[in-house]
Structure 1
Amino acid sequence: MHRSCDEFTRASAARSGRATAGDGLPAIEPGMPLPAGTGMTRRSLLLGGAGLALTIFGGRALAPQAFAEGLDAAAAAAPDAPVIVSVFLSGGVDSIALLAPVEDPRYTRALRPSLFVEPAATLPASGTTAMRWHPSAAAFKELHDRGRLTVFPAIGYEHANGSHFTSRHFYEVGATDPDSATGWLGRYLDIVGEDHNPVQGFTVGPTLSPSLASARVAVAAAEAPQAYDFVSPGIEGGPFKDELVRGHAAIGRLTSTDPVLGPARAMHRDAADLRAALSAPLPGTSVSYPAGRLGQRLRDVVRLLAAGLPIRCATVDATADFDTHAGQRDTFTEQIAEAGAALAAFQADLESRPGLADRVLTIAWSEFGRRPEENGSAGTDHGAGGVGFLLGTRVRGGWVGEFPGLSRLDVEGNLLPTSDFRALYASVIEQWMGQDAAQVIPEAARFQRYALLR
């Protein structure tokens, strides 16, 4: 039976349920960092029949009319702006299972009694004979073969931290700094973003991704962006619904110095403005996505972009569980097949819409890899040297960094990283976003730049 470690379970529950970036989050255990964005000001706008909401974080006062005007101005100013999508594959993907090092003499059944994959059952990987894809990774292979996927087979950082919570925090803030309070994408938006465009940094999910935590501009999160609406019991549509909407807008236009009524009325106006901005139905899709939350959320990202919303950065948590300490074989097979299918459908959907795919670059990442040696429960424990991906029509494809081999490991017996996540971020910021990485990534000059685009 598959089992996750207690820390991963606590961290996932905290981030997805009782703690949002705006609510503040106590340390899960002493010494673990608070997520970026803890303590951010938030305003929740109820917009759906099942308690769905858009939650706006940060930014300045979001003056009533500026909200809608900000969306319109941002869309008009940057219709072709580059977009980055961050996909978190939570739990720690086993890079050795995904890309079997078939030519390494230490990759044997002695190392992995139940997790060893016979080379004959694996799938060939373009550009190398040293590694081969897991049998369930056909979607990853197809993207890579087409030059749509760049693979980082051992990405990470020196002296890797084995805590889910801490290592994820480092990736989210773009530095190995437990005290950083803003995310790397949030800092980018603070440079190029608008005060009153909360969808410029957008999490499709119930809580804001800490990587979007900003210091200056507004960002937002919503679980179901296709369901924005006002609801009232017994009023489904027609003239009564129209009056309900007009009433919300009218309430929002009233002013008050009362510390309760004033913000409440402003929220009504913001909600009315948002509904007006999103009144047109979101475009549909002809692409078939796999069942599951990742496919659903990635489909929503494409539909929002296709509708012309001025999104610059979007984040999605796969809510997978790659933390496979026990019974890994079946769980990994299912999870990696779903992740690959969702990413492939997302890319196909983007490419089916003229002009959109060339604007979107996707980073898929996990907080660390797994230990090379199988444990006593037919699983793997926390390691280093994880796997990462860059997806899009303009990526160079191929590989960044080599597989480090199983004969020379770190002091903990884990894979040595051959690429650094901060170098990846710095390269993306400069080559894709057109900004100086030194403004976003601490000590950016320390890290090499990878040639990522063609």
Structure 2
Amino acid sequence: MDCCDEHARASAGLPAIEAGMPEPAGTGLSRRSFLLRSAGLGLAVYGAGALAKAPWFETGVAQAQAAGPGTVLLSVFMDGGVDSLSLLAPVGDPRYRALRPTLAVDGGREFTEDSRLAWHPSASALADLHAEGKVSVLPAVGYTNADQSHFTSRHFWEVGALDPHLRTGWLGRVLDRVGSPDNPLQGVSLDGQLSPTLATARNPVAAINKPEDSGFWTPGAWGSAEDLAVPAFTNIGHALRGSADPAVAQAAQAAAFAGGVRDALAPLGADGKPAYTPAAAYPETSDAFPKRLAGFAAMLGAGLPVRVASINAPGAYDTHANQAASLPKNLQLTFDSLLAFQRDVEARGLADRVLVLVWSEFGRRAQENGSGTDHGAAGCGFLIGSRIAGRMVGEFPGLSQLDKDGNLRATSDFRGVYGALCGDWFGVDPAAVLPDARGIGRPVILK
């Protein structure tokens, strides 16, 4: 088995958890799902409690577009705890090969900011972007007294606080301040289910797979009948939004929002067929990750008022076994796709507006267990974009002073990084978003 039992996930909705683990952010949100095609979830609109009686969707989108393009953050989650000591291998540290007699990476290109480190050969795309000054590396990011449970540590990163009871995501709280009650496209989960990171307290967000896959499931209707049913359903939603019955008004608002999202995405394709051409060459693969990134770039290129989005990187990084076989292919597809996405937004003239955050819930144990590595503490993260400062956040602490469990010690706190993103990227007071980050330093992340 490559992954531990604790790491099993549900196939839809919020992540599955074990008894006693923190419930994911977004627990208690109402989901209004509208399904299309046998592939599964096509589109969903989420809101905390009752969706607000907001103005027309079209008005909200128009107002957001009239306000001018805002900055965009794409959160990319490497699920399972990526092995930072392979991704940025400390080949120049004398303890490395003693701790990793089997799994030590014969380094690729030298990491120019610290000669002890070398890029994994499968991360050459990320090394290329770093050489261009478009990647800031966090070589040992985490938090003190790290929890080595997937669920707990992931929850902390998702809510932006070391609080197992918090039910809104940190980017959801950003959207509650920079977003509006009438624009579900302001926050988009690109995996077809709600990302806990985007769970809001007030404003709606949407979940899609790819823009060309979005639509409604209309039982027993297809062809021209379905074409007539979808707008009729949406119009009924508009007509009943003012109902005195809260349940009817809630369902109507959800229908109106979902219909608006579908209509906004319609020019980008339908029936699984894209009507857009990517502005860069994405990897050819059966995995949906590069296609979702290409669709997201097309959404931004079409002027849709997105502020934050989230997506899971391909593969699983909980490499207790068979790490040498599984890790390289997952790294290769992840970073080749992100390089293509960066080239895509550059070609579309959007690069100054778009920033990518790549993170994982923790790193791996410094000492291998044979064919894999166990749960660790500090790991690595990355900020990618044309406006990124392009220099290391925190330092690599070396392998001579591991913590009591044999894990890498954190030299930067993820909440400090979030604080810099809140203040410098979104113009939001970090104290209003991050409840326990007072006193944690905020790094310089932009040029």
Conserved 8 A contact 1:147-1:396: yes
Q: Does 1:277 align with 2:267?
A: no
2:99 partner SS: coil
What are the residue-to-residue correspondences of 1:181-220 with 2, within 5 Å? 181-220=167-206
Number of paired residues? 435
Deviation at 1:392, TM superposition (A): 0.2
What are the residue-to-residue correspondences of 1:303-382 with 2, within 5 Å? 303-354=298-349, 356-376=350-370, 378-382=371-375
1:6-63 residue CA offsets vs partner (Å, 9 max, x unmatched): 1112xxx23x43x438xxx6x5132x10001101122123355644332111155354
Q: Does 1:408 align with 2:401?
A: yes
From 145, 149, 152, the counterpart of 2:135: 149
Amino acid at match of 1:52: L
1:280 partner SS: helix
> Which stretch shows the higher mean deviation, 80-89 or 263-272?
263-272
Amino acid at match of 1:81: G
1:136 partner SS: helix
Gaps of 5+ in 1: none
1:361 partner SS: strand
1:169 equivalent in structure 2: 155
1:58-101 residue CA offsets vs partner (Å, 9 max, x unmatched): 15535486223222222222x32111110001111111111111
Amino acid at match of 1:407: S
Conserved 8 A contact 2:184-2:257: no
| In 1: Cα distance, 2:235 partner to 2:380 partner | 52
1:241-273 residue CA offsets vs partner (Å, 9 max, x unmatched): 654445334433554666776655555544443
| In 2: Cα distance, 1:183 partner to 1:420 partner | 17
1:252 equivalent in structure 2: 237
From 109, 128, 131, the counterpart of 2:117: 131
2:272 equivalent in structure 1: none
1:294 equivalent in structure 2: 289
| In 2: Cα distance, 1:28 partner to 1:319 partner | 23
Amino acid at match of 2:288: R
1:298 partner SS: helix
Amino acid at match of 1:370: R
RMSD of Structure 2 on Structure 1 (CA) = 2.3
Amino acid at match of 2:122: S
| In 2: Cα distance, 1:179 partner to 1:336 partner | 33
Conserved 8 A contact 1:91-1:320: no
2:121 partner SS: coil
| In 2: Cα distance, 1:368 partner to 1:128 partner | 21
TM-score (norm 1): 0.89
2:3 equivalent in structure 1: 4
1:82 equivalent in structure 2: 71
| In 2: Cα distance, 1:130 partner to 1:403 partner | 9
1:154 partner SS: strand
Q: Does 1:429 align with 2:415?
A: no
| In 2: Cα distance, 1:262 partner to 1:358 partner | 40
Conserved 8 A contact 1:65-1:270: no
1:61 equivalent in structure 2: 51
Q: Does 1:117 align with 2:105?
A: yes
| In 2: Cα distance, 1:105 partner to 1:50 partner | 50
Amino acid at match of 2:18: I
Gaps of 5+ in 2: 270-275
Deviation at 1:182, TM superposition (A): 0.8
> Which stretch shows the higher mean deviation, 201-210 or 38-47?
38-47
1:268-296 residue CA offsets vs partner (Å, 9 max, x unmatched): 54444333333323632132212223222
Q: 1:274 to 1:332 in 2, by over 3 A?
A: closer
Conserved 8 A contact 2:55-2:182: no
Deviation at 1:357, TM superposition (A): 1.0
1:364-390 residue CA offsets vs partner (Å, 9 max, x unmatched): 0001001110103x1100011100000
Deviation at 1:175, TM superposition (A): 0.8
Deviation at 1:306, TM superposition (A): 1.1
| In 2: Cα distance, 1:273 partner to 1:298 partner | 22
| In 2: Cα distance, 1:73 partner to 1:353 partner | 23
1:395-427 residue CA offsets vs partner (Å, 9 max, x unmatched): 111211111111101111111111110010001
2:96 equivalent in structure 1: 107
Conserved 8 A contact 2:54-2:182: no
Amino acid at match of 1:115: L
1:20 equivalent in structure 2: 14
